[in-house]
Amino acid sequence: QRENEVLAQQKIASELQLLKIQINPRFLFHSLHTVKEHILIDSPRAPQLILQVADLLSYILYESDENYVLLEKELGIIMDYLALEENSLGENFQVETNISGDVAGKYFTPLILLAIVETSFEYFIEKHEEFSLKLLIEVSDNLLDFRIAFNVSNYNSSEPYELNEKLTGIRKQLRNLYPGNHDFIVATTYGNTTIHLKQIPLRLDKLIPEELITTSNSNYENV
pLDDT tens by residue, 137-189: 999 989 999 999 988 866 666 666 778 788 888 888 888 888 888 899 988 87
* pLDDT score recorded for residue 222: 36
Tens of pLDDT along 81-135? 888 888 777 777 888 999 999 999 999 988 889 888 888 888 887 777 778 889 9
Contacts of 36 (CB under 8 A, 6+ apart): none
**Is 33:53 a contact under the CB 8 Å cutoff?**
no
Q: What is the pTM of this model?
A: 0.75
Say what angle helices 112-127 and 159-166 make with each other, to 10 degrees.
140
Q: What's the CA gap between 81 and 55, in Å, rounded?
A: 10
* pLDDT score recorded for residue 111: 85
Phi, psi of 75 (to 5 degrees): -65, -35
**Is 19:169 a contact under the CB 8 Å cutoff?**
yes
What three-state secondary structure class fits 165? helix
Q: What's the CA gap between 33 and 39, in Å, rounded?
A: 10
